[in-house]
Amino acid sequence: MKLINFLFVLSIFSLIGCKNGPFASNVLEVPKNLTVSEITSESAKITWSKVDNAYCYKVYYHPEGYEAWYKIDTFKTECTLYNLFSDENYTVSVQANSDFNSNKYFPSDYAQKSFKTLVEVLKEKELSRPKNLKAEINNDKTTLTVSWDAVEDAVYYDVYVEYVLKNREPPPDKEISYIYTVPATQTSFIDESVPLFKKVSIKVAARNKDFSDSCRWSKYIWLENE
């Protein structure tokens, strides 16, 4: 069983696709003046200069050490990254793209920049994100065990578990998800009814007494059933 850090790929999109023309003959310029500003512990604003003949832009970002990327598609020359992890090094890349129906331009190379989010300052009623999330499946692949570090002032923990099922039918794969709530006296969770799966994704959030916090999830991890 292989444990892999997972970042759920986010695609913010609007009606018309941001895709590449099938018969492009020219390459768009790399976006210039890529800037990261208004950095907080959870967000950052990304701006860049307009690229001639570009129809839209793809913005990719991820924390240091992660292979998978979040993605945002936009028609503007700016976007704000939300729900970042505090005190974390990030890399952001921006690519200019043409209209799918255009046969003139290939997408540009990537402009890239690194930045670091600020140390977390918690607002009233907010709790830190759980860290050091781990998961394992037993040899029979019937029991999932999840553990994490305790969070100060937590009263409960929500454990989100999503399975991609092994399906004999044609794609798409079927997904099922559950949220389990456990008392803060526990920093582990055991699921003894694991279905036959291809992949399971897990994240955990610390919750306060009346669940009035904003449910700030930990980083995802996943397990693959090879």
Q: Tell me the whole-structure pTM to 2 decimals.
A: 0.63
pLDDT at 214 over 50: yes
For residues 226 and 3, is the Cβ–Cβ distance under 8 A?
no
Q: What is the pLDDT of residues 183-212, one digit of tens each?
A: 999 999 999 988 888 889 999 999 999 998
- Only one residue has tokens 């999932």, namely 144
pLDDT in the model for residue 164: 86
* Tens-place pLDDT, residues 26-66: 899 999 999 999 999 889 999 999 999 999 999 999 998 88
pLDDT in tens, 101-146: 777 889 999 999 999 999 888 777 789 999 999 999 998 888 999 9
What DSSP string describes 118-177?
PPP-PPTT--PPP-S-EEEE-TTS--EEEE----TT-SEEEEEEEEEE--SSSSSPPEEE
On whether the CB atoms of residues 50 and 17 are closer than 8 A, the answer is no
Residue 100, token pair as written in the block: 């799918």
Q: How far apart are the C-alpha atoms of 58 and 95, rounded to whole Å?
A: 5
Is residue 76 a contact partner of residue 50, using CB atoms and an 8 Å limit? no
